[in-house]
Amino acid sequence: MENKIQNLLDFFEDHIELSESEKTFISENLQIEKFEKNDFLLKQGQISKRFFFILEGSVRLFYNTKKEEKTAFFYFENSFASSYESYTKQIPAKHNLQALEETEVVVITIENAFGLLNLSPKFEFLARVMMEEELSIYQDIIYSFVAQSAEERYLDLQQRNPDWLQRIPQYQIATFLGVSPETLSRIRQRIRSKDLS
Amino acid sequence: MENKIQNLLDFFEDHIELSESEKTFISENLQIEKFEKNDFLLKQGQISKRFFFILEGSVRLFYNTKKEEKTAFFYFENSFASSYESYTKQIPAKHNLQALEETEVVVITIENAFGLLNLSPKFEFLARVMMEEELSIYQDIIYSFVAQSAEERYLDLQQRNPDWLQRIPQYQIATFLGVSPETLSRIRQRIRSKDLS
């Protein structure tokens, strides 16, 4: 168990220095939890009491709409998944977080977060780093949905997140692009024929 | 000049206590700037060196796409407008900020921000409050674009931001909803007739 938490400690230590007692606090207080494929880490409408650091697996962020599910983002190992807004303001979450495969995470409850902030003000800095990361992701989501066509978004994926194309099922990629699986096939074919010409 | 900065001091004091010397520092170091209607506070692609606290007027956040401008948000008095991501990471901004009318703002440069953070760690807390606010706005933008129809978004506006409908020209509301001005008229008519029935 402790060597799994090590991934989180490594992530923290990319940003701040940790004393031995801080590492012990983290190892002793933060829980590891396993989700099966399709399990929900957070459901839209719930008030989020915890956020997650992914040790293994992947998580899909999606919105329920009247008609369909709209996928907005995918998270993989060594990243945080949350509804920051729901967590900090204790208001209903606007999105779902769902395991795409068997997924293991470190759970950070509100109590854990306060515990860390009490331990040292440097965790305040860490909180800001994480928030900045989430802001960037939201900026990307907005830009992608608002300003790009499905084909542009696919090309962006190829360039910036090739791992998504490897690891995520085609029909999920299609919901991310907002097109049918058939349209996705046509987009891929068009791009391939452009690459060859 | 100083009594205009007072609005910003009031905003700060909603969240933290300020000493007299801190108030003096803010009044002496932060500049007020005026933008004419349609002036850009920030252009997409620029690297943002400053953010803005609106004293008077309004600012539109929009994206350039190949085909058209996509409006995502409107800011009014006593709120911050920025590209937080561009500002903190010094990367090109993903959106434009444009004055919708004659608009007066307090400008906070990177040097100002560091000056404040050096003055007292409580400004770190303030930075987090502002970032949380921006995160919430982005969440709303995503939800609105991804999950709602134009009519749902209009109803949401009526309920949550009735001031937008008062103060923003119809054609801008239409670009926000992603519809033509004619479609917007039809939506309004449909809602009115529902209200009457």
| Chain B touched by A132 (CB under 8 Å) | yes
Is the predicted ipTM greater than 0.85, yes or no? no
Q: Which residues of B touch A89 (CB under 8 A)?
A: 132, 136
- Residue B90 confidence (pLDDT): 92
| Chain B touched by A135 (CB under 8 Å) | yes
Judged against a pLDDT cut of 60, whether residue A2 lies above it is answered with: no
| Chain B touched by A107 (CB under 8 Å) | no
- Residue A43 confidence (pLDDT): 97
Chain center to CA of B43: 14
pLDDT tens-digit readout, A3-30: 788 999 999 999 899 999 999 999 999 9
Name the residue among A149, A168, A175, A138 with its Cα closest to residue A76: A168
- Concatenated DSSP letters for B149-171? -HHHHHHHHHHH-HHHHHHS-HH
Closest chain A CA to residue B67? A147
Q: How far B85 CA sits from the closest chain A CA (Å)?
A: 6
- Residue A70 confidence (pLDDT): 87
Judged against a pLDDT cut of 80, whether residue A182 lies above it is answered with: yes
Q: Which residues of A touch B147 (CB under 8 A)?
A: 63-65, 70
- Residue A135 confidence (pLDDT): 84
| Chain A touched by B184 (CB under 8 Å) | no
As a whole number, mean pLDDT of residues A153-157 equals 90
Phi, psi torsion values for B76, nearest 5 degrees: -125, -170
Judged against a pLDDT cut of 90, whether residue A108 lies above it is answered with: yes
B131: nearest CB among A125, A135, A140 = A135
| Chain B touched by A85 (CB under 8 Å) | yes
B145: nearest CB among A64, A94, A145 = A145
| Chain B touched by A136 (CB under 8 Å) | yes
Interface probe for A, chosen from B51, B69, B138, B148 (most Cβ of A below 10 Å), is: B138
B138: nearest CB among A89, A125, A138 = A138
How many CB pairs (< 8 A) connect A and B? 90
B147: nearest CB among A65, A85, A135 = A65
pLDDT tens-digit readout, A52-103: 999 999 999 999 887 788 888 899 998 999 988 898 889 999 899 999 999 9
Cβ-count burial of B97 within 10 angstroms (0-12 exposed, 13-18 middle, 19+ buried)? buried
Q: Mean pLDDT of residues grouped by 10 in chain B (197 residues)?
A: 80 91 92 97 96 95 86 90 88 94 95 91 83 84 83 89 88 88 91 80
Residue contact A146–B94, C-beta within 8 A: no
- Residue A147 confidence (pLDDT): 78
Q: Which residues of B touch A124 (CB under 8 A)?
A: 124-125, 128
pLDDT category at A109 given cuts 50, 70, 90 is very high
Residue contact A143–B94, C-beta within 8 A: yes
- With left for phi above 0 and alpha for psi between -120 and 50, is residue A78 left, alpha or beta? left
A139: nearest CB among B85, B146, B148 = B85
- Residue B193 confidence (pLDDT): 87
Q: Where are the beta strands (DSSP E) in B12-152?
A: 31-35, 40-42, 50-56, 59-64, 69-75, 80-81, 96-99, 103-109
pTM of the model: 0.81
Q: How far B3 CA sits from the closest chain A CA (Å)?
A: 31
Judged against a pLDDT cut of 60, whether residue A1 lies above it is answered with: no
| Chain B touched by A160 (CB under 8 Å) | no
As a whole number, mean pLDDT of residues A184-197 equals 86
Alpha-carbon gap, residue B152 to B187, rounded angstroms? 10
